[in-house]
């Protein structure tokens, strides 16, 4: 089969690799029909985070089940499914608690499982990991594109909102106008937030934020952004969604958080070698919640909204490529031409 492989900074190639095979009775093989380039992919693409040369990339697969192991009970060949960016068993203590990212039997995409950016993946723990799309929606292209962000960014934005304690009537701020930040806006609106301040610095992305429900847009960085948000909210907000993962974004997040408020953070931390300044949190009792998003936990409730037509995060996909176009997709993400790239192998 064909699949995208990482060879070094700014060097992702699509090449022929062995087809994946069932290795355990709980595995499934999925033919990938939709996948994406993630906002975290540019970090290794730029050489900012380590990644082994020759490793398979992608972690947001959606497709059709081709083959299942003998012990798989929840999906059959021919089913339309999608999977989150982590593999989880579904039955351990942490999966039952909704913390699938800490699954004690967990696994990840890449290696022999294949990455999402390829023709096929092997999905370990298929019963725990795969989310089945009901048959009546299984071939509707618009629906599938609206479901695709549930593999990662929509679940992650939702986790930021949940972690920040957003609820009906809340005033909140969202730091970051990437796909996760935009989905954070959508999630906050879905949870009933009354006022949503989106902080970013790309006007085209803030337009999407507004479409997604942001009530106030702040196009600024650092101290200027903090000052403007604190002025418009008379001293900061109680709920902040930190959707970037960079040290500067965390500083903005704590800077706009009202004393006693909560920062929900979900961006993979990067550029934080200096560590978090705990004094940013200590004096005003600001809580720090969140972490890597257990998007599997949120898949069913978010899918229900997509299927009834009340949730559509697909506008985050501003560019679409086929499998051979994956390197071009990385380039477009790296150069911030695209918010998020949809891949249709």
Positions that interact with its own copies (CB under 8 A): 94, 97, 99, 101-102, 163, 250, 259-260, 265, 268-269, 272, 274-279, 281-292, 294
Cα separation, 234 vs 195, whole angstroms: 13
- The nearest distance, CB 245 to its own copies, in angstroms, is 9
Q: 289: Cβ–Cβ under 8 A, 6 or more apart, which residues?
A: 163, 164, 165, 262, 263, 264, 265
- The nearest distance, CB 125 to its own copies, in angstroms, is 18
What DSSP designation does 135 have?
G
User: Which 3 state secondary structure label does DSSP give 288?
Assistant: strand
Give Dmax over CA atoms of the chain in angstroms: 61
**Contact between 240 and 185 (Cβ < 8 Å):** no
The residue (of 295 and 306) whose beta carbon lies closer to its own copies is 295
HSE on the CB side for 116, CA within 13 Å? 27
What DSSP designation does 125 have?
S
**Contact between 148 and 317 (Cβ < 8 Å):** yes
- The nearest distance, CB 217 to its own copies, in angstroms, is 26
Dihedral sign for Cα atoms in the order 63, 65, 69, 73: positive
- The nearest distance, CB 301 to its own copies, in angstroms, is 18
- The nearest distance, CB 283 to its own copies, in angstroms, is 6
The residue (of 20 and 165) whose beta carbon lies closer to its own copies is 165
Cα separation, 294 vs 306, whole angstroms: 19
- The nearest distance, CB 110 to its own copies, in angstroms, is 17
The residue (of 86 and 151) whose beta carbon lies closer to its own copies is 86
The residue (of 114 and 165) whose beta carbon lies closer to its own copies is 165
- The nearest distance, CB 166 to its own copies, in angstroms, is 15
Task: For 289-320, give one letter per residue: b (16+ CB within 10 A) or e.
Answer: ebbbbbbbbbbeebbebbbeeebbbbbbbbbe
The residue (of 64 and 276) whose beta carbon lies closer to its own copies is 276
The residue (of 31 and 289) whose beta carbon lies closer to its own copies is 289
The residue (of 29 and 295) whose beta carbon lies closer to its own copies is 295
The residue (of 20 and 184) whose beta carbon lies closer to its own copies is 184
Structure tokens at 218: 């702040």
Cα separation, 156 vs 265, whole angstroms: 9
The residue (of 264 and 313) whose beta carbon lies closer to its own copies is 264
DSSP H/E element including 263: strand 257-265
- The nearest distance, CB 99 to its own copies, in angstroms, is 5
Nearest to 19 by CA among 126, 125, 119: 119
- The nearest distance, CB 335 to its own copies, in angstroms, is 27
């Amino acid at each position: 089969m064909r699949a995208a492989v990482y060879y070094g900074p700014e060097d992702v190639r699509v090449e022929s690799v062995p087809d994946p095979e069932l290795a355990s009775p709980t595995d499934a093989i999925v033919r990938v029909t939709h996948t994406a380039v993630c906002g975290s992919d540019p970090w290794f693409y730029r050489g900012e985070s380590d990644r082994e040369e020759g490793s398979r990339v992608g972690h947001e697969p959606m497709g059709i089940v081709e083959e299942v192991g003998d012990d798989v009970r929840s999906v059959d060949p021919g089913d339309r499914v999608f999977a989150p960016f982590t593999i989880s068993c579904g039955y351990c203590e942490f999966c039952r608690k909704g913390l699938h990212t800490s699954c004690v039997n967990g696994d990840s995409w890449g290696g022999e499982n294949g990455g999402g950016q390829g023709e096929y993946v092997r999905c370990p723990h298929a019963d725990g990991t795969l989310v089945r799309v009901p048959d009546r929606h299984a071939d509707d292209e618009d629906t599938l594109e609206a479901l695709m962000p549930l593999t990662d960014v929509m679940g992650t934005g939702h986790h930021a909102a949940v972690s920040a304690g957003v609820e009906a009537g809340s005033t909140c701020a969202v730091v970051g106008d990437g796909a996760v930040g935009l989905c954070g806006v959508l999630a906050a609106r879905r949870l009933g937030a009354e006022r949503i301040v989106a902080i970013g610095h790309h006007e085209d992305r803030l337009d999407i934020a507004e479409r997604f429900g942001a009530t106030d847009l702040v196009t600024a960085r650092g101290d200027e952004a903090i000052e403007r948000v604190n002025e418009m909210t008379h001293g900061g907000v109680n709920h902040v969604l930190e959707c970037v993962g960079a040290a500067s974004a965390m500083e903005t997040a704590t800077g706009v958080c009202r004393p006693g408020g909560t920062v929900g953070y979900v961006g993979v931390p990067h550029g934080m070698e200096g560590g978090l300044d705990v004094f940013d949190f200590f004096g005003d009792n600001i809580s720090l919640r969140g972490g890597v998003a257990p998007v599997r936990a949120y898949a069913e409730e978010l899918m229900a909204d997509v299927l009834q037509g009340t949730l559509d995060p697909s506008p985050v996909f501003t560019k679409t490529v086929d499998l051979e176009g994956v390197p071009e997709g990385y380039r477009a993400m790296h150069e911030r031409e695209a918010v998020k790239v949809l891949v249709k192998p």
